[in-house]
Amino acid sequence: MQCSMHIQNENERERELLEEEERKKREQPEELPKAKQKTKQALHEQLKEQEKLETVQLTEGLKDSRKNLQGVKVARVMSTTGNDRLNDAAKQLVMIKQQKEKILDKLCKQETAKDSEVR
């Protein structure tokens, strides 16, 4: 008799704990997932923008290279200007890639945090 009462009490405690857990889940604000989603979207947009900048910079660098190859005589005279532009383009490309890596790191950290919260 005492054994069955003890089992009933244990079952009742487990049920109460489950109910409490579900109540807490329902009461959790939905703002947190929405805010994380907005952050994730913003990071994706920043990543796309960095990729566009990267493409533009590579294209400009290639154009500059082609122009330099086509006009060897002109390139000799204006080599410092062309090289400066190429150097600037290369520097900007490095900066864009670094920014892109930072954004990807943020995305990875956010995904990791999201995965650990889900578990």
Number of residues in the chain = 119
Q: How far is CA 56 from the centre of its chain?
A: 21
For the chain, how many structural domains are there in total?
1
Decide if 43 is inside a domain.
yes
Q: How far is CA 67 from the centre of its chain?
A: 36
Decide if 5 is inside a domain.
no
Residue 106, token pair as written in the block: 């943020």
User: What pTM does this model have?
Assistant: 0.44
Question: What local confidence, expressed as pLDDT, does residue 30 receive?
Answer: 63
Decide if 4 is inside a domain.
no
Domain that holds residue 94: 30-118
d(CA 93, CA 91): 5
Give whole-number Cα distances, 48 to 64, 104, 105, in Å.
24, 11, 14
Decide if 82 is inside a domain.
yes
Q: What's the pLDDT tens digit per position in 61-115?
A: 788 777 666 766 666 666 677 778 888 888 999 999 999 999 999 999 888 877 7
Q: Which amino acid is at 34?
A: K
